[in-house]
Structure 1
Amino acid sequence: MLANNQDSLKRTPLHSLHVSLGGKMVPFASYDMPVQYPAGVLKEHLHTRASAGLFDVSHMGQIALRPKSGRIEDAARALERLVPQDIVAIAPGRQRYAQFTNDDGGILDDLMVANFGDHLFLVVNAACKAEDEAHLRANLSGDCIIDSLEGRALIALQGPKAETVLAKFCAEAPAMKFMDAGPHEVAGIKCFVSRSGYTGEDGFEISVPAADAERLAKMLLDNPDVLPIGLGARDSLRLEAGLCLYGHDIDTTTTPVEAALEWSVQKSRRTGGMRAGGFHGAEKILAHFDNGASRRRVGLRAEGRAPVREGALLFADSAGGEPIGQVTSGGFGPSLSAPVAMGYVPTQLAALGTKLFAEVRGQRLPLAVAAMPFVKNTYKR
Structure 2
Amino acid sequence: MHAISRVVRNRRWFTGLVLSTALLSVGCLGGQVPAKDLGADIDDVAATLIEQPLLHSASIAVVYRGQEFIRHRGDMEAGKPGPPTDATLYEIGSLSKTLAGTLMANAVLERRLGLDDDIRMYLQGDYPNLQYKGEPIRIRHLLSHTGGLPNMLPDRANTVLADFTNQRTPQALNALYAGYGKADFFRDLHAVEIRQAPGKDYAYSSTGTELTAHILETVYASDYASLLRRFFGDSAAMTGLRIRLDDTEAARLAVGYHSDNPVPTTPMPQLPWGASGNVKATVPEMVKYLKFQLADGPVVKESHRALVTFDPEFSIGYFWNIVAGDRLKGTYYAHHGGVPRSQCYIYILPKYDLGIFVITNQSGDETAHAMEAAIDTLVERIAARENTPG
User: Which has the larger share of strand?
Assistant: 1
User: Which has the larger share of helix?
Assistant: 2
TM-score (norm 1): 0.25
TM-score (norm 2): 0.25
RCO (CA 8 Å, sep 6+): is it higher in 1 or 2? 2
